[in-house]
A = this chain, B = another copy of it.
């Protein structure tokens, strides 16, 4: 099966499609759970599958340091290591390395950095990152780029974007083509439409199998992010998948799908699940809040996850109060189920040509939620 994306329907800018890979087909729009260190935190692989997830993300930075890419390769690759025969996308390590302020030194060729685990010195370049992702057996390899800091001046953003475009060309040259595998280039340029356009122009001739939009959700706010998507997405080739990296809240996903994005990843549903925050069709709940302590109702009545079908809000509340591991387990499971159901619902609406109405109805349900203000956050309040 050769790597590619088929468009089944469009509804305004939004698209419903299927991503074809060596490790199976994936319906888009798609949300990828984050499996940083070879595990989606607090979830077995079977549990992740039961949420409807088909594509997961692995982090090159974490995996190269521990257990090491050589070791993963010797053990049969990341799919076998983490029991995920389905497709896996790996990031390039660039984002994590850039956030190691003081522990890294960048030059034209790449980045030298010290491990946050043991202080040992390591190096990432476009060639090394691409080779590591190959060792991990990533279905989708990401180009190595610099994640531009925010805020930054326009000249700083330009310089960073131009470096990333030179690295994109080197990443592409280093990529070993295999049937059913692909590599995505990453559009940079901050919140500057003309820099984003130049970045797209630089990437297109390289022939990537898909395009990511990087450098967003780093503090610019949802309005600036949506504006950037509005100007950038239409420049991308219509027949290839578009991936918005590191995004986001449920409301971010709705707004970005409406603007033509096909793929997402974010730690939010998993991290929130470990800290008692529940994403539901009625908004965001803090399960530590005492008002749940006697509530025999399910967290989200329509949700098929075991936390909702087998247990009460009172039980989930109890688990977090008691510090029981099952609290993070069940709430992560719920949040990922909610995210998958959100994506499935949007895909069905696109196929029916009714995404705008569907999005309005999802948002109305969030806003109609009856909880007290301190407990219920509308999803788009979180980024403030």
Contacts and interface: CB of A to CB of B under 8 A. Distances in A.
Contacts of A293: 67, 71
B37 A67 contact: no
A43 interface: yes
Given A324-B39, A325-B42, A318 B83 contact: no
Given A66-B318, A318-B66, A329-B325, A310 B45 contact: yes
Greatest chain B CB density within 10 A among A38, A312, A322 is at A322
Interface SS, A side:
loop
Contacts of A66: 318, 321-322
Which of under 10, 10 to 19, 20 to 34, or 35 or more describes the interface residues of A?
A: 35 or more
Interface in A81-99: 81-83
14 contacts: A37-B322, A38-B315, A42-B325, A44-B306, A44-B329, A45-B306, A66-B318, A66-B322, A67-B318, A67-B321, A74-B296, A76-B296, A83-B311, A325-B325
A51 to B, nearest CB: 14
A67 B314 contact: yes
A46 interface: yes
B74 A44 contact: no
A46 B42 CA distance: 15
A30 to B, nearest CB: 23
Interface in A40-85: 41-46, 66-67, 71, 74-76, 81-83
A156 interface: no
A75 B326 contact: no
A67 B311 CA distance: 15
A22 interface: no
A328 interface: yes
A75 B312 contact: yes
B82 A46 contact: no
A330 B44 contact: yes
A128 interface: no
Given A325-B328, A325-B329, A314 B45 contact: no
Given A44-B306, A306-B46, A319-B39, A71 B326 contact: no
